[in-house]
């Protein structure tokens, strides 16, 4: 999987712009905001099944041009933001290609069933003791 990620990183390209937030005059001069762009459809290293899985999983993060966009602007350094964006990208690809385990249906154990019945009986007895017994005295 690590080999695939390294090949996919070669297909990624970055767009930089000025980022808002703290930084003083640095904000007005340096383009620190990093936008990572990756075209899932045009990737040469993904199979059709993998492309379908990723497009389905991240359909809300893919723009009209078909690019998966990841934005990083936490740091005041463009280099650190690129590293953060790449880390997010790798994490998203791993998460998107993860194979879900099929759930194995199991039955409820007998001890759980008997325990539930026992609790219900004890609550029922407790409530019987709380009842007003005056209606029995009238007869």
- The tens-digit pLDDT sequence of the chain (139 residues) is 777 877 888 888 888 888 776 666 666 677 888 999 999 989 888 899 999 999 999 989 888 888 999 999 888 888 999 999 999 999 999 998 888 889 999 999 999 999 999 999 999 999 888 887 776 665 5
Sheet of 33-39, strand order: 13-17, 33-39, 67-72
pLDDT of residue 3: 79
pLDDT of residue 88: 94
pLDDT of residue 35: 92
pLDDT of residue 89: 93
pLDDT of residue 86: 93
pLDDT of residue 82: 92
pLDDT of residue 36: 93
pLDDT of residue 116: 95
> Is domain 2-97 classified as CATH 3.30.160.20?
yes
pLDDT of residue 111: 95
What is the C-alpha separation between 30 and 25, in angstroms, rounded? Answer: 9
Contact (CB, 8 A) for 33 and 16: yes
SS3 75: coil
Domain boundaries defined on the chain: 2-97
What is the C-alpha separation between 19 and 75, in angstroms, rounded? Answer: 10
């Amino acid at each position: 999987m690590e080999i695939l990620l390294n090949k996919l990183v070669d297909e990624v390209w970055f767009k930089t712009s000025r980022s808002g937030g703290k930084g003083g005059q640095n904000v007005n001069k340096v383009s620190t905001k990093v936008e990572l762009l990756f075209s899932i459809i045009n990737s040469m290293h993904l199979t059709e099944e993998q492309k379908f899985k990723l497009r389905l999983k991240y359909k809300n993060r893919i723009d009209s041009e078909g690019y998966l966009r990841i934005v990083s602007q936490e740091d005041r350094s463009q280099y650190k933001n690129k590293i953060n964006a790449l880390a997010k990208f790798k994490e998203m690809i791993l998460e998107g290609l993860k194979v879900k385990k099929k759930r194995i249906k199991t039955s409820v154990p007998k001890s759980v069933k008997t325990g539930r019945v026992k609790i219900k009986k004890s609550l029922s007895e407790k409530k019987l003791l709380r009842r007003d017994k005056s209606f029995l005295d009238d007869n």
